[in-house]
Amino acid sequence: MRKQFYLDLCNRLDLIRDLADEKIFKHYDLWNQQLNPDFGEEFPMPAVFLEFLPIQWKTLGKFRQQTLLQFNLHVCTATMQRGSSKSPYRDKILGHLDLLDAIHLWLTGWRGAYFNSVTRTASRQDHYYSNVIDHIETYRTLLVDDSAQRTFVVKEDPNALIVNIELLFNAPDAGESPTPDGGGDESLPAEGGGDESLPAEGGESLHSGEEVL
């Protein structure tokens, strides 16, 4: 599920365009200390790196878990001259701050089929590097991971008039096998469609109504 979230996040940030309708961000990756000078990795900028913070899971049943996912976005831009109030290029020099506002605009309230509304919780800047500005924006969302669920395919044999149920892949033995219900569709219901729907903002658990810390 983290892979899917990363891909969805990149697609979301690709919606941020300049006046020529070109994508603002030139590079995405998972954070792995790319700015460390010992690595010597070069990449086009502006760039965004996703860093998943430590995750604690709560089991929901039916092979699903949820977490209050917290993640950092490292927004990296090339260092320019100081944005002095007397500089005629001040607006361009301070453009890296506009990027943070654009990300905030496009991510706040963003939600998907498996995660709730995204919100920003913290901002800071890493001042260690002389040639790169590294803004670190922290966001969080309530996310449900159903990657451990068995996925069933129902096939009808018109000759034998039987229904064969086959696993798409050989999942590890997890005790009692799940029973398909209505074709095995155990996806999350639409918002407001039952006690297993993603909650509205406010941090309620999917099942019990307990608050997620």
Mean pLDDT throughout 45-73? 95
pLDDT on residue 38: 74
Sorted by sequence, the CB contacts under 8 Å of residue 19 that are 6+ apart come out as: none
CB atoms within 10 A of CB 61: 9
- Tell me the C-alpha distance between 146 and 207, whole Å: 15
- Go through the domains of the chain in sequence order and give each one's CATH number: 2-145 (3.30.2000.10), 150-185 (no CATH)
Give the span between the Cα atoms of 175 and 67, in whole angstroms.
Answer: 23
Element (H, E) at 97: helix 95-107
Q: What is the pLDDT of residue 156?
A: 56
In this predicted structure, the answer to whether residue 92 has a pLDDT above a threshold of 90 is no
Contacts 24+ apart (CB under 8 A), 178-182: 178/62, 178/63, 178/149, 178/150, 180/152, 180/154
**What pLDDT, on the 0 to 100 scale, is given for residue 129?**
72
Q: Position of tokens 């706040």?
A: 108
pLDDT per position as a tens digit, 119-178: 999 999 987 776 788 899 999 999 999 988 866 555 555 554 444 444 444 445 544 444
Q: Give the 3-state secondary structure percentages of the chain, helix then strand then coil, rounded to 5.
A: 15, 30, 55
Residue 190: predicted pLDDT: 43
Amino acid at 63: F
- Mean pLDDT (whole number) for 95-104: 90
Which residue's structure tokens are 């969302």? 141
Number of H helices, E strands in the chain: 3, 8
Among 2-6, 181-185, 188-192, top mean pLDDT goes to: 2-6
26-40, 48-62, 73-87, 165-179: segment of lowest average pLDDT: 165-179
Query: pLDDT for 10-29, tens place per residue?
Result: 999 999 998 889 999 999 99
**Amino acid 209: pLDDT:** 41
